[in-house]
Amino acid sequence: MKIIRKVSQMQKIALKYFQDGDEAGLVPTMGALHEGHVSLIDKSVRNDDITIVSIFVNPTQFGLNEDYLKYPRPFEKDVAICKKNHVDYIFAPSVNEMFPAAHKTFIEVKQMQDVLCGSFRKGHFRGVATVVAKLFNITFAERAYFGMKDFQQLKIIERMAKDLNFRTKIVPCPVVREKSGLALSSRNSYLSQKEKNDAVQISKILKEAKKNFSKNNVSAVLKDAIKKLNKISGSKIDYAEILDANTLSRADKASRNFIFAVAVWVGKTRLIDNVVL
């Protein structure tokens, strides 16, 4: 396994395997790897000739008052996890390497970027779409793996890749959960044991909503879930919405798939989770 720090070096390697006919899989991460990431890595190792994990805490996707500085960066541990799971390359560039001072270009995915998390985290998905497009161009990936925990991110990246004619195929991967049901997230490390126990309720409420959901009782299911989410100790709901799973817009009669997505603060930690209905 090799650790690559420079864009030019990664591109040179990528050009070589691409022209040799080897297919690369990209797992874009911000590090602090957990079993969710490992499930993406596993999928790539099975599908692709070469697996690249990018580790980059992307400043352009954090708001001014968000957790960019305190976001966990256990790099040595991440390296060990990648090595153990048969990753070929870790691409871990510096901020200056990815976003030098002269950088001026951003990618926006209209409408989809403004709902759910986008309405609370202005500019977040602009930063995500931009860095992912850069990673596609840097790695020539045949496939890129994204967890469904970040459902809105997944849908935005799918849209972006299609709209800009990237050849990289987007592979969605199921949410990985603790036995308790809590969705794995690098941000779970911010939770106290007490908060963690409280946070477990979120996935339980989503699971129950899924069980009770039908096309005809959207608002009743939603109302019930919001009531329960509000009862979680120390909780504050950013949003809880049932939307068309493809467009992330209001579900209507043409909708075939529905997503119930929530963002809930538990204490000082913002957690997101979702369930496809």
Question: Binding site for (R)-pantoate, residues?
Answer: 61, 153
Q: Which of residues 83-142 bind a second copy (CB under 8 A)?
A: 102-112, 129-130, 133-134, 137-138
Of 206, 194, 202, which Cα lies nearest the Cα of 270?
202
Question: Residue 256: is it exposed, middle or buried by C-beta count within 10 angstroms (0-12/13-18/19+)?
Answer: exposed
Structural contact between residues 17 and 50, judged by C-beta atoms closer than 8 angstroms: yes
User: Which of 164, 215, 233, 257 is in the footprint of a second copy by CB under 8 A?
Assistant: 164
Q: Which of residues 15-34 bind a second copy (CB under 8 A)?
A: 15, 18-19, 21
Q: Report the 10 Å Cβ neighbour count for 257.
A: 12
| Shortest distance (Å) from residue 23 CB to a second copy | 12
| Shortest distance (Å) from residue 161 CB to a second copy | 9
Structural contact between residues 65 and 22, judged by C-beta atoms closer than 8 angstroms: no
Q: Write out the binding residues.
A: 30-37, 61, 147-150, 153, 176, 184-187
Structural contact between residues 203 and 184, judged by C-beta atoms closer than 8 angstroms: no
Strand partners for 259? 243, 276
Number of residues interacting with a second copy: please give it, by CB under 8 A: 30
Over the window 186 to 225, marking each residue x when it contacts a second copy by CB under 8 A and - when it does not, the resulting string is ----------------------------------------
- The pair of structure tokens assigned to 174 is 């199921």
Question: Cα(205)–Cα(275) distance, rounded to whole angstroms?
Answer: 10
| Shortest distance (Å) from residue 13 CB to a second copy | 13
Q: With respect to a second copy, which residue has the nearer C-beta, 116 or 206?
A: 116
| Shortest distance (Å) from residue 230 CB to a second copy | 33
Of 43, 172, 63, which Cα lies nearest the Cα of 119?
63
Q: Which of residues 165-184 bind a second copy (CB under 8 A)?
A: 165-167
- Determine the residue type at 195: E
User: Which of 1, 3, 7, 218 is in the footprint of a second copy by CB under 8 A?
Assistant: 7
Question: Cα(188)–Cα(169) distance, rounded to whole angstroms?
Answer: 29
- Binding footprint of a second copy on the chain (CB under 8 A): 7, 11, 15, 18-19, 21, 102-112, 129-130, 133-134, 137-138, 159-160, 163-167
